[in-house]
Homo-oligomer: A and B are copies of this chain.
Amino acid sequence: VTVRNRGGRAVLADVARQAEVSMSTASKILNNVASVSVRPQTRQRVLDVAAELGYRPHVTARALAGGASHALALLVPELTNPVHAKMIRSAFRTARDLGYTVLVAEDPAGARTDDSFADLVAAGHADGILIGSARPGHPLVADLRRRGIPHVFVNRPVPGSGRNVGMDVAAAGALAVAHFAGLGHRVVGHVGGPADLETSRTRTLAFRTAARRFGLTEAPVSHVPFDERSGAEAAEALVREHPGLTAIYATSLGQAVGVVHTVHRLGLRIPQDISVLAYDDLPLAEFLSPPLDTVAMPLTELGAAAVHALVEQIGGAEPADVQVPIAPELVLRGSSAPPRG
């Protein structure tokens, strides 16, 4: 007899009863616990009954009993940023393959960070946290470590944490400078991210190092937020203060949109007067006026690597820094060219 309760849902007891095994055995079979060695026939019977009843383990009960929620919390600085969307998507997929669910939350820089994120874990909602929104003095950072909660930093590293999952950001900067230098540019401006973010500093350092190596005459840098407006303002200052400037490397697509806006507003042309290159490749870049050259970063691999690292940590492994072993790539669409003259 098919027995059900609670709104028609079959529970483990139903499966066990109908398959004529104990709940323990049913549980172990359904969870692929190695120690159980029932006859193949019995195992199959349990599986069949579970399928027939449409049995779904109640995650909440499972979490309470087993001490694990099989969920990961993912914090991003802003949902709006398509860059994060790409990483999030990949994190979702990877997590699912590993038997985890991902809960995304937005953790904007401005907001007071209440302790609700650490509580996600403390309260049994998640087994660990992927932090894509790290910044210096973030209250969460110290708190998580102190409370021994599994966590990794994605994309925005926390120096010395020993749990950073990142990409070869330095290679991106070198690639950008090499590209411009190869075209013959001597004065290249860099619109960098906020100075207090480690990612920004790393990108800038890589840019400066490469600028020196390639013998650029000037390599002015400005540090501003990642949005369009900030990019526009930074570009204006760069162009004004460096008359010889013929190229700009922006550290986000948003900033690059602002750069283009300013260049046009100043009556200059892209790429004839000023070449523009953006960090991160997204579909939007192709349809801007003009279409933008970009450095494509391995964001999909980043999301996957972060989930793997976190799940290993939850499994008891020591935290470790991870760098995605995929090199950034140039995507050229015509927003850069040799300087005039």
Q: Is A8 an interface residue (CB 8 A)?
A: yes
Partner of A257, one of B106, B148, B227, B288: B288
Whole-angstrom distance from the CB of A206 to the nearest CB of chain B?
26
Partner of A228, one of B56, B80, B284: B284
Please determine whether B80 and A85 come into contact, CB atoms closer than 8 angstroms.
Answer: yes
Please determine whether A283 and B57 come into contact, CB atoms closer than 8 angstroms.
Answer: no
Interface string of A108-129 (1 = CB under 8 A from B): 0000000000010011110000
A122 to B232, CA, bound (A): 49
Q: Is A53 an interface residue (CB 8 A)?
A: no
Q: Is A135 an interface residue (CB 8 A)?
A: no
- Chain B neighbourhood of A59, CB < 8 A: 123-125
Q: Is A39 an interface residue (CB 8 A)?
A: no
**What residue of chain B has the Cβ atom nearest to residue A103's Cβ?**
B103
The 4 closest A-B pairs by CB, nearest first: A60-B124, A228-B287, A80-B85, A79-B85
**What residue of chain B has the Cβ atom nearest to residue A291's Cβ?**
B261
Whole-angstrom distance from the CB of A258 to the nearest CB of chain B?
5
A283 to B253, CA, bound (A): 13
Please determine whether A261 and B232 come into contact, CB atoms closer than 8 angstroms.
Answer: no
Please determine whether B264 and A287 come into contact, CB atoms closer than 8 angstroms.
Answer: no
- Chain B neighbourhood of A86, CB < 8 A: 80
- Chain B neighbourhood of A60, CB < 8 A: 60, 63-64, 69, 123-125
> In terms of DSSP, what is the predominant structure of the interface of chain A?
helix
Partner of A88, one of B79, B119, B231: B79
Q: Is A306 an interface residue (CB 8 A)?
A: no
Please determine whether B101 and A125 come into contact, CB atoms closer than 8 angstroms.
Answer: yes
A147 to B8, CA, bound (A): 8
How many monomers of this chain does the complex have?
2
Best-buried of A258, A287, A291 by chain B (most CB within 10 Å)? A287
Taking CB atoms and an 8 Å cut-off, the chain A residues in 53-110 that contact chain B are 56-61, 63-64, 69, 78-80, 82, 84-86, 88-89, 92, 101, 103-106
Please determine whether B85 and A78 come into contact, CB atoms closer than 8 angstroms.
Answer: yes
- Chain B neighbourhood of A85, CB < 8 A: 78-80
Partner of A283, one of B64, B82, B124, B227: B227
Best-buried of A79, A105, A147, A283 by chain B (most CB within 10 Å)? A79
- Chain B neighbourhood of A45, CB < 8 A: none
Best-buried of A124, A232, A291 by chain B (most CB within 10 Å)? A124
Whole-angstrom distance from the CB of A106 to the nearest CB of chain B?
6
**What residue of chain B has the Cβ atom nearest to residue A256's Cβ?**
B287
Q: Is A286 an interface residue (CB 8 A)?
A: yes
Interface string of A139-169 (1 = CB under 8 A from B): 0000000011000000000000000000000
Having A9-B122, A58-B123, one finds 6 other A-B pairs with CB under 8 Å, namely: A56-B122, A59-B123, A92-B105, A101-B125, A228-B286, A289-B289
- Chain B neighbourhood of A26, CB < 8 A: none
